[in-house]
Amino acid sequence: MSSTNEDSLRFQRRLDVVQTILQKYGLKSTQVTPLAYVENSPFEFNNFIFKVDLAAPGVSAANFPEPQQPCTSAPPPPPAGVTTLVIHLSNPLAEGLNNTNRVENMVAAQFLVRQAALAGLSPVVPVPAVYAWSPCRYPEISDETGFGWTMSEYKLGSDLDAQFESLPLEEAQDVLEQIADLLTAVQRVELPDTVTKFGALTIDNSGNIVSGQMPILPGGPWETYEEIWLEKLQSQLAEADKSPRIRGWREVQGGLSGLRERIDKFLGSGRGVQKMLQGVVDTRQRGLVHGDLTMNNVLYDSTTKRVTGLLDFDWAAVTHRCEEFLSGLWDVVGGIHERVGELIQPMVLSGEFGVQPAGLSDAELRKWEIARAWNSALVKRGAIRPSSVAGVDRLKALKEFGNLLCPFQLASEAMLQRMGMSEENAAAFRASTETKIVSWLDRFESVES
């Protein structure tokens, strides 16, 4: 059987699951449309998302039996009801994701942000209401019927990332103000007293939101922020061990002798990470982060010029709030990421945008204007930003180390094929990365807190 035929069969099975979910709640669809889906992708999608148009009278609270599921919202009553909704299937086959409480984490995170907004503790946030959900039961149920899922509110608008670059600067700056409201709302969420550890969220048998495992890391939850970093780096090294090109940075012909031993020594018992963070970074700071706050997860209505949705809390976490900038916000030129660029990244880290750099091209000038406007929006709201985080340089360095331990360009066969990288070029890239790891260790092995 060809891969194309298998993809078609899997797609049909997912549609069957959607219909089963609708039937469970007495709902009938007139149309089911996949969102953000590309056929024959070389990578597994993290999620499969469907827009569902319902036959009249649509969904209302009457479709959901009491008691209401934890962390859900009742749909509007008739005559309004709901005629369009979204069903989100979490793909347990997606590479590198932990499905232990993945759906519960997403549902709980969305619920907390919505509750904060409704309580007036945050600006009004367009986070979709969740009407119903089911946890992952895969691989106990070994086909698509074992996928975890949510049924949620449909938000109007289109992905902002496809529109932002074409917006006039003044309109783009107004959008940044609205995204700053979203980030501020997430930062202001107060975690329940039952959430006591670093990691993520889950929902216990009594319906309480409690500490859970992170979707993007194995294990946990953890007592300390240092433990999260150690798990991140060890996970990257474990992936490097699996790669036939990286080979775990063990000595090979032409390779650097003793490099793996140096890496293991730095990571051993977490002492290297601990020395980098303690006394420099506030490792007790713990809050909710979205985990993937980029324009791809923000909806925008070009007619009303309003942000209409903050989506995909799939990677939400309970961790240091600087993690929001390590994982996202690079496309508003406010994250800690190579795409921000060598010119602007130091300004993001310092918060200093007083003097416009000389000799900028039109594209560089717009990027600088966007970065300055974003920084100003966060200052205005009293929000946490990279420049207000003590020890942000150390966190940036740890992120760089993690990326060096297992470069995606080398570890992913699909990416190598997509880039058309020859074996010779891959070997050269590996050698270059090896040298960078040595330089990193030379700089930080003996660092003192």
pLDDT digits over 257-276, tens only?
799 999 999 999 889 999 99
Q: Say which residues have a Cβ less than 8 Å from residue 176's Cβ, sequence separation at least 6.
A: 332, 370, 373, 374, 377
- Provide CB contacts within 8 A for 241, sequence distance 6+: 247, 248
Residue labelled with tokens 């990288």: 421
pLDDT at site 125? 67
Q: What percent of the chain has pLDDT over 90?
A: 79
| pTM of this structure | 0.94
Higher pLDDT, 327 or 252: 327
DSSP SS3 for 307: strand
- Is the confidence at residue 448, as pLDDT, over 70? no
CA angle 307/313/314 to nearest 5° reads 140
Contacts for 116 with CB less than 8 Å, ≥ 6 apart: 122, 125, 185, 188, 189, 190
The two counts, helices (H) then strands (E), for the chain are 13, 12
- Strands ordered across the beta sheet of 47-54: 29-35, 47-54, 84-90, 148-153, 130-134
- 350 has pLDDT over 70: yes
* Tens-place pLDDT, residues 153-184: 999 999 999 999 999 999 999 999 999 999 99
End-to-end CA distance of the chain: 58
Q: Which of 52-66, 140-154, 174-188 has the lowest mean pLDDT?
A: 52-66
